[in-house]
A and B are shown apart, each in its own frame.
Chain A
């Protein structure tokens, strides 16, 4: 049943993942073909954690986010929210879609496009609560609470319009708006990418504070590998519609097992002009998601590709401690000459 908004029912206890995603798929039909944007991804989002998602442009991060939000309907796979099927009706015992949509909220990169330019920000923030039956007065009160929580004094900012705010301030408003329904999970798709570095730091600090204060769980998508390392507890690496590696942040950053993850991490600018890169860690273009390579999808750009990589998709191999890598080199007896050589 519907929980009191301030204390959503924790059904399964802390050990049960907040979100379980199994073999999730989204294929976009285009003229006479389909884009296999998300092609069978499996992962958990644990209660109270931040799961970072990284990967090349076009690998399916935003599509995954939109699937989690149910802004898109999946073409296959399963999603459980705190142990219950998403979108079931009352009889089948799942979480109803309306309730799920309240508990899962999203923040996008473009702080401007996601706010109604004609509404003062307190009305933008209060809009969803009103739709969910909260009175106008209470919605305003909640908007003011949230503005204060994101560091914008309500008496100064509540009546302002989006164009009267800086980019960082607008992103704070977006975050406040995402929290207006007391969600449990917030999906953040490149939330700081459009911000200046000094503002980015402010917003990251804010996200950490809010997570603590409201007991939130985050899925955090970014192409800034330093930011993902800073904010995430676990990290998931995607390549061409698939998860190629996932695990605790330190395992991924200190002992990356998949050749794509290694190349991605090695692509970070060095921050030391005396130690500049001389070769790009990854060359060539990503293959077309309409017609991905057979076997391992990374094999066309992988320096270690062998026969088995061409014929057999590598399964996710457990390297211990929840660190999974989908590469034949990680799996004993896969038939790759370096098999087992990269166990953590």
Chain B
């Protein structure tokens, strides 16, 4: 059952066990996450790949207990040895920022438009560490330099809208790192950036992760991004992890038909003039999941046995897992 595949030291940084998240309201019941097991070691980088709506963001938010009230969350969520589900508001406030921090695709969701970058970082540090304002400003400068913002000193006084997209993304990373989190959650932070800026931000995140020894969980739907930044990848489909393993192995030879299809559909050099392979059909409704493997309705290898029960997590070799009865 367990997807704890990698040999981990005693306490992994993140331990998710059979996480389920449902959004329940009077007229709908969305099964967004349907039994996710994930482990992350300190200093490790994991990419969660998957289509829109597969539960990537909801899984990240669950790790910070950031889901709305109507979300019914079940299963074990442990970060840095603490039970996230059991934390109260005050404990959470301290936990967010100092243990876990999050960055987003759209930096303006994390930055306050009415305060300068310097003030925002200093505030965060002061609130958490109870240091003076001037010490906070000094930290802010250090952080802007850490994220390689040119003319950092001058930029302390800049408002978010005065920065380019790439610099804004760096400023958001600086805010997230203000209290030296052990775990950084990144929800598609480079998806909206153009190629030259995207690679800058990816290299920066990789460098920071190594330098600060942070664990990183990085959500993306771009295989290339995963290839640049991940140690391991987990591929989600309809709220479940259908494949997990080291990034190189999964990118070269995925085991599960869904990531196989995804790899086939990814446009790359050398496909000119050829028809692209597609995955027929569309993902299932999360209000009414098909029995068994949720990918079966679109899978060319499906047979009756696929729809009997949700395929168990099968281990392949020492460090790979796939949920497919054909593996």
State the A residues within 8 Å of B (CB).
Answer: 56-58, 166-168, 196-202, 204-205, 208, 223-227, 229-230, 249, 253, 263-264, 267-274, 276-286
Q: Is the CB of A253 within 8 A of B269?
A: yes
Chosen A-B contacts, 5 in total, with CB atoms closer than 8 Å, are A196-B221, A198-B262, A199-B51, A267-B198, A270-B227
Option from B164, B202, B230 in Cβ contact (under 8 Å) with A273: B230
Question: Known contacts being A57-B194, A281-B199, is A201 close to B228, with CB within 8 Å?
Answer: no
Interface bits B271-301 vs A (CB < 8 Å: 1, else 0): 1100111110010000000000000000000
Instruction: Please name the residue on chain A nearest to B225 by beta carbon.
Output: A269
Chain B residues whose CB sits within 8 angstroms of the CB of A277 once the complex forms: 199, 203, 228
Does B265 touch A at the CB level, under 8 Å?
Answer: yes
Interface bits B245-256 vs A (CB < 8 Å: 1, else 0): 001100100000
Minimum-distance CB pairs A-B, first 6: A269-B224, A201-B265, A201-B276, A267-B195, A198-B279, A280-B200
Q: Is the CB of A271 within 8 A of B196?
A: no
Chain B residues whose CB sits within 8 angstroms of the CB of A279 once the complex forms: 203
Q: Is the CB of A274 within 8 A of B248?
A: yes
Question: Known contacts being A271-B224, A274-B248, is A285 close to B150, with CB within 8 Å?
Answer: yes
Q: Whole-angstrom distance between the alpha carbons of A229 and B266 in the complex?
A: 13
Instruction: Please name the residue on chain B nearest to A166 by beta carbon.
Output: B282
Q: Is the CB of B52 within 8 A of A167?
A: yes
Q: Is the CB of A227 within 8 A of B267?
A: yes
Q: Is the CB of B200 within 8 A of A283?
A: yes
Nearest Cβ distance between residue A113 and chain B, in whole angstroms?
Answer: 16
Option from B166, B195, B228, B268 in Cβ contact (under 8 Å) with A285: B166
Question: Known contacts being A226-B269, A271-B268, is A196 close to B150, with CB within 8 Å?
Answer: no
Option from B164, B251, B267, B271 in Cβ contact (under 8 Å) with A200: B267
Question: Known contacts being A229-B272, A230-B272, A277-B228, is A201 close to B165, with CB within 8 Å?
Answer: no
Q: Is the CB of A223 within 8 A of B227?
A: no
Q: Is the CB of B272 within 8 A of A201?
A: no
Q: Is the CB of B195 within 8 A of A204?
A: no
Beyond known contacts A57-B165, A264-B195: 6 more, CB 8 A cutoff: A197-B266, A201-B276, A253-B269, A267-B196, A270-B227, A277-B203
State the B residues within 8 Å of A (CB).
Answer: 51-52, 150, 164-167, 193-200, 202-203, 221-225, 227-228, 230, 247-248, 251, 261-262, 265-269, 271-272, 275-279, 282
Q: Whole-angstrom distance between the alpha carbons of A224 and B262 in the complex?
A: 17
Chain B residues whose CB sits within 8 angstroms of the CB of A283 once the complex forms: 200
Chain B residues whose CB sits within 8 angstroms of the CB of A198 once the complex forms: 51, 261-262, 265, 278-279
Instruction: Please name the residue on chain A nearest to B263 by beta carbon.
Output: A197
Chain B residues whose CB sits within 8 angstroms of the CB of A226 once the complex forms: 266-269
Option from B203, B269, B277 in Cβ contact (under 8 Å) with A201: B277
Q: Whole-angstrom distance between the alpha carbons of A228 and B45 in the complex?
A: 30
Instruction: Please name the residue on chain B nearest to A209 by beta carbon.
Output: B275
Q: Is the CB of B221 within 8 A of A271?
A: no
Option from A167, A270, A278 in Cβ contact (under 8 Å) with B224: A270
Q: Is the CB of B194 within 8 A of A196?
A: no
Instruction: Please name the residue on chain A nearest to B281 by beta carbon.
Output: A198
Q: Whole-angstrom distance between the alpha carbons of A229 and B275 in the complex?
A: 14
Chain A residues whose CB sits within 8 angstroms of the CB of B277 once the complex forms: 201
Nearest Cβ distance between residue A290 and chain B, in whole angstroms?
Answer: 13
Q: Whole-angstrom distance between the alpha carbons of A172 and B278 in the complex?
A: 15
Q: Is the CB of B195 within 8 A of A276?
A: no
Nearest Cβ distance between residue B91 and chain A, in whole angstroms?
Answer: 37
Nearest Cβ distance between residue B167 and chain A, in whole angstroms?
Answer: 7
Q: Is the CB of A285 within 8 A of B269?
A: no
Nearest Cβ distance between residue A198 and chain B, in whole angstroms?
Answer: 4
Q: Whole-angstrom distance between the alpha carbons of A308 and B194 in the complex?
A: 29
Q: Whole-angstrom distance between the alpha carbons of A230 and B277 in the complex?
A: 13
Instruction: Please name the residue on chain B nearest to A250 by beta carbon.
Output: B272
Chain A residues whose CB sits within 8 angstroms of the CB of B195 once the complex forms: 223, 225, 264, 267-268
Question: Known contacts being A196-B51, A276-B228, is A282 close to B267, with CB within 8 Å?
Answer: no
